[in-house]
């Protein structure tokens, strides 16, 4: 797993009812959006909630990651000492982030803690999240005075660390928008304030994360924003992901901008086609035609493809083609999706009652190339085809439990009915894996 979703949220203590004591009603739209955000996080059931906060420890040239096994905090400084938190840190994930930062030359780590208590930029999101979801540990990140590109790079490392530790994570980017939206606001009014809020909400509502790096830092200072760097780290953590962005709310009635956006996984077009095929065939016994909204790369490309189905983490069916057998990749996926769900000899056909429990993935294969020896294989990068006469066995790359080339070849031989000692030919191939996020 990795970072599966992200959320852009503000952190005004006012919206905590025990602090606002009725005044929070003036930002009711923000509270409603926050409650929806917490509901979405609860539905995702993450193992770790990663929170970047402008009010955590911050250095000019260093990203501070909170150390230790756990941390406490309360809203005592805001007149609500009864609202307390005790959170456990994901120490394994923190350690991996540190290791990768060292490797990539990013100045970040757990050194330099000044105050172990949770800050309000962390606690306000947790106030809403913990009402809905009490599971999972946290990782708390501070910002830095380093350039925006460094913040984006940190986000990419976080994504990699989450994948390498097999964590199911959500990223919560805590940060208010401009503090110069109204004359009566905490810093008065500046024309850059409304312009900043307009631009940031436009960019984030479109999920156009690369545009976050185009904001001039002088402009951001004049707007007196506090969350931009937090949002940039989040965007790095979503690098390369197919996401659906949605603006839930934006308010400026206090003179400070509060914006909430969600960034949820958008179903991959390859997976969507396979899922639609399976559901239609299982329910109606009909093989669908290629839908009109199918992307061009599926309609104008030919390639072999495997469709695999899992249920409760266990394989439920997998059928594929090494080389293209249909006019285009879309038809290849449709044919193999029907076969994987109803014609895999290892399993009974999928039933309609199971459809809501299935996880569907699609692997698109490169053209196989013959290799001279197992030394040219890598179980993570390459799949293998082992041939002996007309017998042939195939194994996809990067499978759980297959850690060595020797294992990979042995399993492929077994699948092809090839005995040890027989003369074999090896081919390798790469795949582009399209996964359903659940």
What is the residue-wise DSSP string for 200-222?
A: HHHHHHHT-GGGGGGS-HHHHHH
Sorted by where each begins, the domain ranges of the chain are 3-265, 267-363, 366-433
Q: Alpha-carbon distance 94 to 87, whole Å? A: 14
Show the tokens assigned to 415.
């699948």
pLDDT confidence bin for 437, thresholds 50/70/90: low
pLDDT for residue 52 is more than 90: yes
CA distances to 130, 280, 311, 339, 359 from 274, rounded to whole Å, are 36, 10, 15, 11, 11
The predicted-structure confidence for 120-130, as pLDDT tens digits, reads as follows 999 999 999 99
Mean pLDDT, residues 342-352:
96
Q: What is the C-alpha radius of gyration for the chain, rounded to an integer number of angstroms? A: 25
- For the cut 90, the answer to whether the pLDDT of residue 293 exceeds it is no
- DSSP letter for 7, please: E
What percentage of residues in the chain have a pLDDT greater than 90?
91
Model confidence at 438: pLDDT above 60: no
CATH entry, 267-363, from 3.30.700.20, 3.40.50.10790, 3.30.70.270, 3.40.50.300 = 3.30.700.20
Find the mean pLDDT for residues 127-146.
97
Give the H or E element holding residue 97.
helix 91-104
The rounded distance, in Å, linking the Cα atoms of 3 and 387 is 39
Q: What is the pLDDT of residues 213-226, one digit of tens each?
A: 999 999 999 999 99
For domain 366-433, the question of CATH label 3.30.1490.150 is answered with: yes
Mean pLDDT, residues 253-278 taken together? 93
Q: Which has more pLDDT, 309 or 242?
A: 309
Q: Is 3.40.830.10 the CATH number for 3-265?
A: yes
Can you read off the two tokens belonging to residue 65?
A: 């990651």
Report angle CA 113, 12, 117 to the nearest 5 degrees: 25
> Helix or strand or coil: residue 237?
helix
Separation between Cα atoms, residue 282 and residue 279, nearest integer Å: 5
Q: Average per-residue pLDDT in the chain?
A: 95
pLDDT score for 241: 85
The DSSP secondary structure of 23-86, one letter per residue, reads GGGGGHHHHHHHHHHHHHHHHH--SEEEEEETTS--BSS-EEB--SSEEEEEEGGGTEEEEEEE
The phi, psi pair for 431, rounded to 5°, reads: -130, 150
Inform me whether the pLDDT recorded for 436 exceeds 80: no
């Amino acid at each position: 797993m990795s970072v599966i979703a992200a959320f852009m949220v503000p952190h005004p203590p006012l919206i905590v009812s025990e602090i606002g004591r009725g005044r929070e009603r003036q930002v009711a739209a923000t509270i409603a959006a926050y409650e929806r955000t917490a509901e979405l996080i609860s539905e995702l059931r993450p193992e770790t909630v990663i929170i970047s906060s402008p009010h955590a420890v911050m250095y000019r040239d260093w990203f501070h990651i909170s150390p230790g096994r756990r941390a406490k905090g309360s809203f005592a400084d805001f007149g609500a000492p009864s609202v307390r938190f005790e959170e456990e840190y994901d120490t394994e994930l923190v350690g991996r982030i540190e290791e990768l930062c060292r490797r990539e030359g990013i100045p970040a780590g757990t050194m330099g803690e000044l105050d172990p208590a949770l800050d309000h930029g962390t606690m306000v999101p947790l106030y809403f999240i913990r009402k809905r979801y009490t599971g999972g540990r946290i990782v708390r990140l501070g910002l830095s005075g380093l350039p925006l590109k460094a913040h984006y790079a940190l986000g990419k490392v976080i994504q990699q660390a989450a994948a390498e530790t097999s964590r199911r994570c959500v990223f919560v980017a805590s940060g208010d928008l401009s503090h110069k939206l109204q004359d009566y606001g905490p810093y008065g009014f500046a024309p850059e304030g409304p312009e900043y809020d307009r631009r940031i909400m436009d960019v984030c509502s479109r999920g156009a994360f690369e545009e976050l790096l185009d904001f001039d830092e002088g402009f951001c200072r004049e707007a007196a924003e506090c969350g931009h760097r937090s949002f940039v780290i989040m965007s790095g953590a979503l690098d390369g992901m197919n996401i659906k962005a949605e603006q839930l709310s934006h308010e400026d009635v206090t003179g400070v901008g509060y914006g909430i956006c969600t960034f949820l996984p958008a179903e991959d077009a390859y997976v969507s086609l396979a899922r639609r095929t399976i559901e239609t065939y299982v329910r109606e016994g009909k093989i669908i035609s290629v839908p009109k909204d199918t992307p061009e790369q599926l309609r104008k490309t030919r390639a072999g493809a495997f469709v695999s189905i899992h249920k409760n983490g266990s394989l439920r069916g997998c059928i594929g083609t090494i080389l293209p057998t249909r006019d285009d990749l879309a038809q290849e996926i449709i044919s193999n999706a029907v076969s994987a769900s109803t014609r895999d000899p290892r399993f009974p056909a999928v039933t309609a009652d199971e459809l809501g429990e299935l996880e569907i993935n699609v692997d698109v294969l490169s053209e196989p190339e013959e290799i001279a020896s197992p030394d040219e294989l890598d179980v993570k990068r390459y799949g293998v085809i082992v041939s002996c006469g007309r017998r042939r066995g195939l194994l996809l790359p990067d499978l759980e439990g297959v850690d060595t080339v020797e294992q990979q070849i042995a399993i492929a031989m077994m699948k092809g009915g090839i005995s040890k000692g027989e003369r074999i030919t090896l081919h390798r191939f790469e795949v582009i894996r399209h996964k359903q996020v659940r």
